[in-house]
Homo-oligomer: A and B are copies of this chain.
Amino acid sequence: MDEETLGAWRALLNVHARIPGQVEEALAAAGLPPLAWYDVLWPLYRARAPARRLRMGALAAEVTLSRTGLTRLVDRIEEAGLVRRESVAEDRRGSYIVRTRAGAERLRRMWPVYERVLEEAFAAQLRNPRALRRALEPLGRRPS
């Protein structure tokens, strides 16, 4: 493995080690839920969730968490009233996770905090966002 590639990998690890932590701090300071809740609420918001709902499996694909972990995370978010479970009519094994009005509201509050950290810690130092995006996107794809 050449030095440049390894250096790029280490740099990526460093960025990831630093920025999400700053986001967590900013969210906590604003009295808002942790980043993981954002990761769950966001896919439930428009585009991906036709009727503001997704099944656990679909949600698990969006979140960096085991199936079990997602079950428990959703437990907590549901307890806070930001999502609600509904049974699936066509397949009674499944659960829908449905975003609530309170969930949408909380998501709206979280984004500006998240965004501000990204602006300061990420965007401000970034020369060419488009090039970075194009370089990284192929790497994140499902195993080809």
Chain A residues proximal to chain B, CB less than 8 Å = 1-2, 4-9, 11-19, 64, 115, 118-119, 121-123, 125-133, 135-141
- How many copies of this chain does the complex contain? 2
**Contact, CB under 8 Å: B115 / A15:** no
In the complex formed, the residue of B with least CB distance to A14 is: B140
Q: Write out the residue numbers on chain B whose beta carbons fall within 8 Å of the beta carbon of A17.
A: 64, 140
In the complex formed, the residue of B with least CB distance to A142 is: B18
**Contact, CB under 8 Å: A139 / B11:** yes
**Contact, CB under 8 Å: A126 / B14:** no
A2 vs B126: C-alpha distance when bound (angstroms): 12
**Contact, CB under 8 Å: A137 / B16:** no
**Contact, CB under 8 Å: B121 / A11:** no
| A1-B118, A15-B139, A139-B122 known; A8 vs B64 contact (CB < 8 Å) | no
Known: A8-B126, A11-B132, A13-B140. 6 other contacts (CB 8 A): A1-B119, A1-B123, A2-B129, A6-B118, A11-B136, A18-B140
